Chain A
């Protein structure tokens, strides 16, 4: 029920934005850019080797969006359509730049990448509770999470992620895309997407924990 309501809201919001863009409303365009541009950069960086090239790709994608605005029928969401255009531009440019590492393996760079520092658990030879917390997490107060510092910590953590992990968490958690949409945009499998998402979220959580608790626990 909630999903239906959210979908209806998205559709009507999209229609409003489209109508505004089509009559040349600059403010509407800037708001859209503000919402999507940084995420588009993160996604582009999953395909192309440098920030400079990524910025070119994103500019190119926006031009493509403008060119296609009149014909866009709204069969998919505006966001999905825009990321689709970006994905095409990024892939084409990525192929030209001969990116050596295929996206599907990005984020699987290090096969053993534990979600939490293993030293925070009792070792496998512990007499009673091997694998249980020895340095457990403590709950985060809600009001701390709403502070600017928390948002900045998350932003920094996302910037520091390897490209594949960064692209997935950007689309899933920052933009709120469904997993099917993300797999489509990035050209990866469901399973692959989950691994990248897991690693990304684990790293960001660890970073946030460090920030909120002042120091690295234990």
Chain B
């Protein structure tokens, strides 16, 4: 079975520190309660954003878990070349503007049409950051929704942490939906956006 895996630079496992060698099979010491080889289905990608993205091959029984899959045996096949720093930034920006869109829609629904319009206007990150800084947050739930757009824009401007924007947009979606399942829904949407973009040929 083919799946995906995010690793640290040099094909290093982000949690185990294990140094993967492309093509070499790795057997899990004990495939029991999470000690197997972990990988992502396409829908899981946004949960595990890392610096390198690899295609992996898994063998043997595959356990399907909520946000990852696990197998007794796996090996790295090849690097997904389209996933680089530039792609990561693009993904981060996508999530920032997703948080913005979710917030604007919520504000419109709450009767804050002017605020929603102002928020929806900016097309670049610097413009969005300037806009959110200039707005006095309303009270209550409207303020909370605005805050997600603000926090996503400000945080990404400062640190460029795409995984963080992904998180903020997902929480914003759960808030807008009024349902915790909105978090996973947004994550999966992001994952599919990512997969589509990575499958696209070089522009």
Contacts and interface: CB of A to CB of B under 8 A. Distances in A.
B14 to A, nearest CB: 17
Interface residues of B, number: 5
A34 interface: no
- Dominant SS at the B interface? helix
A3 to B, nearest CB: 11
Interface in B138-177: 143-144, 147-148, 151
A132 B45 CA distance: 24
A127 interface: yes
Contacts of B147: 127-128
Interface in A104-129: 127-129
A129 B147 CA distance: 10
Interface residues of A, number: 3
Contacts, number: 8
Contacts of B144: 127-128
B143 to A, nearest CB: 7
Nearest to A127: B144
Contacts of A128: 144, 147-148, 151
Interface in B87-143: 143
B35 to A, nearest CB: 15
Nearest to B150: A128
A127 B143 CA distance: 9
Contacts of A129: 151
A128 B151 CA distance: 9
Nearest to B141: A127
Interface string B43-54: 000000000000
Interface string A125-141: 00111000000000000
Nearest to A128: B147
B185 to A, nearest CB: 19
A128 B152 CA distance: 12
A138 to B, nearest CB: 14
A139 to B, nearest CB: 14
8 contacts: A127-B143, A127-B144, A127-B147, A128-B144, A128-B147, A128-B148, A128-B151, A129-B151
Given A128-B144, A128-B151, A129-B151, 5 more contacts: A127-B143, A127-B144, A127-B147, A128-B147, A128-B148
